[in-house]
Chain A
Amino acid sequence: MEVPILKQGEFLIATFQAALSDADLENLRRGLVHQVVKFRSRGVIVDVTAMDVMDSFASRTLREIAHMIRLRGAETVIVGIQPEVAFAMVQLGLTLEGVATALDLEEGLAYLIEKFKNID
């Protein structure tokens, strides 16, 4: 299952589907990093609203995506982690340390815009 990546000005938006396999997540990681380079994007929003399970592999992949993109000088924000998913992640000890999160797409965009406002 392919994750669609949308280009919105300086930002990229990737929307996760419910049932992503490890291979899908790895493809997404590759695709996102590639597109950040190609479009010289400054920010990436990963929307995980539809994800009903965030296990160790998915969390690790998200963290890796954010860190790789940061090395390119861009910023990643994960949006839409569902309350049940957040609860399970905490029980498992998964923290997404060092990765920005926001409630939804709108707040994620606001976060990125604010972040890059003073740089231009």
Chain B
Amino acid sequence: MSAGEIRVVINSDQDIVFARQRGRVLATQLGFSAVDSTLIATAISELARNILAYAQKGEITLRAVQGSSRKGILVVASDDGPGIPDIRQALRDGFSTSGGLGIGLPGVRRLMDEFEIKSRPGRGTTVTVKKWKQ
């Protein structure tokens, strides 16, 4: 955790912009390509959007991670919102309960290399994603 952790509170639509900007800066610092930095920034934008849509507030944390042979970036989006009753359904393309486009979680999964979701109804949701440097 040498590079430190960046924590962005998500509370308004401005915070979505701020979070993805911070993510892009970190990705670029870590040496990610322009394409990958854009994929990471876009994933952060969608994750922050989900927080706002379903839980109204939450946070995104960003940090560098070291794998066995490569560097990566870790993004954690967490909230104390209503949680997701059926995760499998939420991960299906075209599914949305917020009146959005329904591309949220499956889209984020495609943009990143690793994807993990934990959710308990009434307790909140935590989505953890990683992307490794090519």
Contact = CB atoms under 8 A, between A and B. Distances in A.
B1 interface: no
A87 interface: yes
Interface in A16-39: 19-23
Interface residues of A, number: 23
Given A21-B16, A91-B107, A84 B38 contact: yes
Interface SS of B by simple majority: helix
B111 A53 contact: no
A57 B49 CA distance: 9
Interface string B41-58: 110011001000000000
Contact of A88 (B16, B21, B104, B111): B111
Interface in B86-119: 93, 100-101, 103-104, 106-107, 110-111
Nearest to B33: A84
Interface in B58-80: none
B13 A56 contact: no
A86 B62 CA distance: 24
A99 interface: no
Interface string A48-84: 0000111111011000000000000000000000111
B30 interface: no
B110 A52 contact: no
B107 A53 contact: no
A92 interface: yes
Given A53-B24, A87-B39, 8 more contacts: A53-B38, A53-B41, A55-B49, A56-B49, A56-B100, A87-B38, A88-B38, A93-B107
Interface of B: 13-14, 16-17, 20-21, 24, 34-35, 37-39, 41-42, 45-46, 49, 93, 100-101, 103-104, 106-107, 110-111
Going nearest first, the 8 A-B pairs with the smallest beta carbon separation are A84-B38, A22-B13, A92-B107, A55-B45, A88-B42, A21-B13, A84-B35, A56-B101
8 contacts: A55-B42, A55-B49, A56-B49, A56-B104, A83-B35, A84-B35, A88-B42, A92-B103
